[in-house]
Structure 1
Amino acid sequence: MIVFDLKSFRTKLLFWLLASFVLPVDALAKQASVDLLPRAFVFEDTNGSLEIDDILDPKIHSQFKAFKDNPKRSYGFTRSTVWVYVDVHNRSDKDQVRYLGSIRPEISTFNMYHVQDGQVQQVWLGGASVPIEDRVESTRLNLFQDEIPKGATKRYYFQVRSDLSVSLVLQSSTRDTYFFQHQIADITHFFYIGSMFSLIIYSIFFYVSLRDRNFLYYSLFGISITISDIVYSGFLEMWGFSFLGHEHAVIFLASSPPLSIIYGISFIQVRQLYPKLFYLGAVLGLVVTGVFLLSIVMPGPLAGSLVMMSQFFSMLYVISVGFHGFRNGNKSAGLYLSGWGLFAGCLIVWIMGNVGSLPKNYFVAFAPIFGNIVEMTMTAIALSFQFNQMKEDQFQKEIATRETDSLRTLVQVVCHDIANPLSVISGSHRVASRFKDDQEKQSKAWDRVGRASKSIEAIINQVRRMQAIKVGKQELVLEPVDVAVVFKEVEFNLEHKARSKGVQLVFSIDKGKRPAFKVMADETSLAHDVVNNFVSNAIKFSDSGCHVWIEAFFRDGKPVIRVKDEGIGMPPDILDSVFSENKKTSRRGTNQEAGTGFGMPLAKYFVDKYGGEVEITSKEAREGDSEHGTCIEVTLTEATENPELQKAS
């Protein structure tokens, strides 16, 4: 038997992930390349129009400044071309093959010139503007191979221009270091792209399954930044997709700020909880959308600079949104805020590396990628956490709704069932008041009051049992019930109502050879909520002189209680939904008696609890038609002579 140890698996996975980055970086440190910029000289051609021959002109060449005097590595989005020259020495006792240039793939123009005695000796063309098959090394990294004889010094000039942000990285590497850098850069990008696509597929799957728009916004945001990285890193060129160049990376970068704002507003529910913050987000969203459109129609340094600003302000906004949500107790907002905070911290590290405040090592160079993976992962976790929380809140709301419905049901039961005993008490009180000197009639009246009071007490106890049953503290217990006793209780409750309306109640029980007609049920609910309700409705919808038959008999060995009247019947629309709690079926009787529409669903509820069945047929009264009325039949389970108490399922 194989036992899966999740804790051990997570520990090993974490170790593997750390090792996958730490070990290569450690190896890279041992084979470190040489940073050429500290001993280089730099000149910025603001017009971007000068060529190597112009640069070698003494008047122009005199404008080169030592990098160490002004260590500026980042030039931002600019039309300038940056020229760098550096002397590379080989102080060893043998010839050396060196790889010179930059590991940044997004540079549009990166040409290297070997110059000796003021003359260009050799030219290496590189950068995204040169088709990858025409480059000397045919790779996406701009590193060029050259041999430096022992004891010799060579001077190299580098021409650097980019449609994206210009950032100077210039190094000299051995062959092993060059290939290692190339591999570790590819592995890092593939790890990033694979992680992002996994998160995107995850979010799309949940959007399709759950139809939660937050997953859609999350996936669109992930798609925009992933495609941006693929274009930015030069992989599309390697794969032969030349229709998307480096200049298009800005467009995808520009699409992420509006998507991040939309996602933040939706995820934190800003519109409902923080109206002022929502209006600020709406204005900012319009602005960054305008920047996105500008990057499409007017690509260039201005659009690139505006894209960077839109990313900065959109990140501030989503962090602010996350902070508001977290401060107000939204646990998922804490994960959301942490993810974006770490991403912002990684971007700051990357920017500090570009401007020279931090050494441009592996972690600094790829800090945005690592930060983005962490941000997307934590946001995915936060999104899942929030969805689970929403389902839990919805579940609790449904429970509260059911409890409210249960309470309403109990109130309706009380109001419905107590009405008849109260009418008996009221009528008996009138009789007793009218015949003060007639002791016999007064005694009968007070007997009826006592009997009606016991019915009310039984109804109240029944309501308590119903409440206990609904909350799971008690189960409805079925026991043998004598239908003759039920009929007497119904006659007692309704005879005054029937007599006052001129309706005759006819009770009959055909028990065959059995000593009694007994069924498995609950006596109080069978009397007051089932039979009493059917007979009361029959009286309500019958005219004076009509009959209501209340019968009990056996059919195919099963006990049946039937209530049949000569009333006005039911129209088809009411007949189809008479047992539904959600549809209005109440209507006034033949003497304009009002109803609640609750009695029939309640009767059906109890019959179902008994394990019985209810069938109802009705024919609506029409002019010239003498046969009309309603017939209700309840089929129950017969009680044996010594039955065990049964519990309703």
Structure 2
Amino acid sequence: MRHCTLVLLVCCLLFIRDTLGQRIIHYTQSDELVEMGSYARYFEDTSNQLTHQQVSRLPDSRYADSPDKILNLGFTPSRIWLKWDIHNQTNEPVYAVLEAQDIDYIDAYVVGEDTTYFVETGVLRPFANRYFGTNSIVLYLGKAPKQLYIALKDMNGLVLPIKLGTVRPVMHKVYRETMINAFVIGVMALIALFSFFMYVSLRDRTFLLYALHVVFSALTLLTFEGYLFDLLWRDMPYMNNGINSSLIRLGTLLTSIAFSAAFLNISAVRPYMVRAYQGVALLAIGVVVAKIMGIQRAEMAFNVIVLVTFLSFLGVGFWLYRRGFRPARFYLLGWGIYIVEILLLILTLFNVISFDHVFTYYGYQIGAVCQATLLTFAVMDRINTLRDGIRQAQELALKRLEENEQLMARHNEVLEKQLQRSESSPTDDLQQLLRMIRDEREKVKKIPIPTLEGVLLFTAEDIVRIEAMGSYSTVHFTNRKEMVASRSIAEFEQVLADHDLFFKVHKSHMVNLNYIMKYRRGEGGTLVMTDGSEVDVARRVKPDFLKKMGLEN
């Protein structure tokens, strides 16, 4: 009896040891995804030579337990082998979905009762090796998997969220991520097109630099999510060798420096900072070259350069905002959110924080779309600020011009009075001189026409007629061109009260009397202008018009 009790106790202890020692995934709910990271054990193959058969024969003591839900293996030149023990308690096949799409080499070895196979995949392997033809790598484990071995090797930081589930939750997750990424890329594409259109329209290079920055940011996201491989070069995995990714990220950094320098006008407010940013750009180029040559630490150095550069943008923007540069507020918001998300991503690569919440998992998407949207507001606000400055300068110039015209008019009046006093009955020559003075006074008198872009000045000789258009007006010129003015015809009537050449013949029309080619009699009558247009004369103003034109008889 004592012997049986001892045997039973030993069996219980062995069972407890095995249960605690083995981190078995018991998958029970077919509509859920299970995080696999906390169940993983890993082994570092420093030789990079072990095969999957050799690794599968290693004792459990060679493996170390993963401390996190999200596998974060840091920067290492070794190949990392991961091992899981899986018990599927549903009647459906299960799958493992790897949510990091930019890992260079992924070797998977599945051991199960109904399926056992080995597959080589990753971004440097043919796209056809993937079980599903999507940017996310999905491994088929069968209905009764026992062990799953995955080997990872990448020149960048190894961060691998991986989940287990049946086909429905797996495909739902892939679909949801595709929709989120499509939305982000769509927003960035629209912003890039809008910025390029504004550059073509206004010839402001700030819009061009911003459009290029948004394009490179979108390409960075497409690279991280594996869409460039999926959409552009499925048959050319060598295109994912890290060079393209590094060059795209370098382009994102360089365009951000060029855009920020132009937007904040750093060359004018802090010229020495332009040289400092040029030095940062050269340093970043050198680090990327080192990374392409295979120096492992270059990736970490590049991330530090990016973070320090973006933080400097915040510092300069805040300084300018304190000095009254209004557009810097949206600039600060855009870069602030973007930098916070980039900082979170970098901290996950250094294993400081976890990768299992929305602000790190979708960090780049959140930062990119917020930055693109808010910086668009910043650029437009900058344009409005510049327009306000131009408008104020034009108003000041217009005020000075009006003062000069008033001074010239007073001088002409004094000259007329002196000429009239010099001879009580003016001769023909004197009358001709007086007419010339009046004509010249009309010629130099400018008519201000406000538009959405500012205030433009024209002489009376340039304008044929003014046509009402609600609270706006359409000004028709002698060259058969027209322009919409942000002033009603009633306001034009007040402005042109001192101009004898203009007459309001209808509630919706003012005409220049010098450009009337023909008058047709009628209830009110019709005017034929030199530009070929016909303008009706209102019955109530017909007597005054005929008197003005000397056509009373």
Does the CA-based 8 Å contact 1:227-1:252 persist in structure 2? yes
Q: Is residue 45 from structure 1 mapped to residue 28 from structure 2 by the alignment?
A: no
Alignment of 1:472-487 (within 5 A): none
Match of 1:178 in 2: 170
Among 347, 353, 357, the residue aligned to 2:353: 357
Whether the 8 Å contact between 1:353 and 1:360 is mirrored in structure 2 is no
The residue number in structure 2 matching 1:333 is 328
Structure 1 segment 103-502 matched on structure 2, within 5 A = 103-115=99-111, 121-149=116-144, 154-242=146-234, 243=236, 244-245=239-240, 247=242, 248-292=244-288, 294=290, 298=293, 301-351=296-346, 355=351, 357-358=353-354, 360-362=356-358, 364-410=360-406, 459=414, 489-490=418-419, 492=421
Contact 2:70 2:356 in 1 (8 A): no
Relative distance call for 1:299 and 1:202 in structure 2 (3 A) is farther
Compare 390-399 and 72-81 and name the one that shifted more: 72-81
What's the offset of the Cα at 1:265? 1.0
Secondary structure of the 1:301 match is coil
Length-normalised TM-score, structure 2: 0.66
Is 2:427 aligned against 1:507? yes
In 2, distance between residues paired with 1:494 and 1:256?
Answer: 81
Question: 2:52 is aligned with what amino acid?
Answer: I
Distance 1:145 1:400, change over 3 A: same
- Between the aligned partners of 1:293 and 1:608, the Cα distance in structure 2 is 72
Measured in 2, the distance between the counterparts of 1:155 and 1:356 equals 30
Aligned to 1:65: 64
Q: 1:89 corresponds to which residue?
A: 87
Cα contact 1:95–1:147 (8 A) shared by 2: no
> Secondary structure in 2 aligned to 1:137?
coil
SS at match of 1:136: coil
Q: CA deviation at 1:95?
A: 4.1
CA shift in 2, pair 1:401/1:110, >3 Å: same
Counterpart CA distance in 1 for 2:376 and 2:232 is 32
Shift of 1:205: 0.7
Is residue 101 of structure 2 the alignment partner of residue 102 of structure 1? no
Q: Any conservation in 2 of the 1:41–1:66 contact (CA below 8 Å)?
A: yes
1-side partners of 2:111 and 2:278: how far apart?
A: 56
Q: Is the 8 A contact 2:69 2:356 kept in 1?
A: no
Change (3 A) 1:309 1:531: closer
3-state SS in 1 of match to 2:427: strand
Distance 1:494 1:310 in 2: 86
CA shift digits 1:129-170 (9 cap, x unpaired): 221113333432222112243xxx712211012244321222
The answer for the alignment partner of 1:553 in structure 2 is none
Q: How far, CA to CA, are the matches of 2:227 and 2:127 in structure 1? A: 11
Contact conserved, 2:110 with 2:141, CA < 8 A, in 1?
Answer: no
Gap regions ≥5 residues in structure 2: 1-28, 442-497, 504-511, 515-543
Q: Normalised by the size of structure 1, how large is the TM-score?
A: 0.57
Aligned residues of 2:420 and 2:426 also touching (Cα < 8 A):
no
The question of whether the paired residues in 1 share the 8 Å contact of 2:135 and 2:230 is answered with: yes
CA distance in 2, matches of 1:407, 1:256: 52
Query: What one-letter code is carried by the residue in structure 1 that aligns with 2:85?
Result: D
Q: RMSD across aligned C-alpha pairs, in angstroms?
A: 4.0
1:132 and 1:140 in contact (8 A); partners too: no
Change in CA separation of 1:329 and 1:489 when aligned onto 2, cut-off 3 Å: closer
Q: Note closer, same or farther for the CA distance 1:57–1:32 as it changes in structure 2 (3 Å cut).
A: closer
Consecutive unaligned residues in structure 1, runs of 5 or more? 1-28, 418-457, 463-485, 496-504, 511-516, 520-524, 534-604, 614-639
Asked if the contact 1:102–1:170 (Cα under 8 Å) also holds between the matched residues in 2, the reply is yes
Return the alpha-carbon distance in structure 1 between the equivalents of residues 83 and 69 of structure 2. Answer: 14
Checking the alignment, whether the CA contact within 8 Å between 1:99 and 1:178 is kept in structure 2 is yes
Distance 1:532 1:179, change over 3 A: closer
The answer as to whether partners of 1:148 and 1:154 remain within 8 angstroms in 2 is no
Shift of 1:76: 4.5
Q: How far apart, CA to CA, are the structure 2 residues paired with 1:38 and 1:532? A: 91
1: CA distance, partners of 2:188 / 2:224: 15
Change (3 A) 1:255 1:96: same
CA distance in 2, matches of 1:46, 1:211: 56
Give how far 1:321 is off: 2.2
**Offset of residue 643 of structure 1:** 7.0
The alpha-carbon distance between structure 1 residues 410 and 220, as it changes in their structure 2 partners (threshold 3 A), is same
Query: What is the alpha-carbon distance in structure 2 between the residues aligned to residue 102 and residue 334 of structure 1?
Result: 39
In structure 2, what is the Cα distance between the partners aligned to 1:509 and 1:223?
Answer: 72
Letter in 1 for 2:63: F
Look up the equivalent residue of 1:324 and give its one-letter code: W
Identity of aligned residues (%): 18
Change in 2 beyond 3 A, CA 1:509/1:212: closer
Distance in 2 (alpha carbons) for counterparts of 1:125 and 1:349: 31
Structure 1 residue 47: Cα displacement = 5.1
Deviation at 1:182, TM superposition (A): 1.1
Measured in 2, the distance between the counterparts of 1:160 and 1:222 equals 32
Residue aligned with 2:95, SS: strand
1:299 to partner: Cα distance? 5.7
Distance 1:399 1:281, change over 3 A: same
Contact 1:44 1:82 in 2 (8 A): yes
Residue by residue over 1:398-426, the C-alpha shift from the partner in whole angstroms, topping out at 9 and shown as x without a partner, is: 11122223334555666x66xxxxxxxxx
The one-letter amino acid of 1:144's match is L
Change beyond 3 A, Cα 1:226–1:159: same
Once the two structures are TM-superposed, the CA of residue 303 in structure 1 deviates from its matched residue by 3.9
Matches of 2:268 and 2:423, distance apart in 1: 55
Residue 327 (structure 1) shift: 1.4
Q: Which has the larger radius of gyration?
A: 1
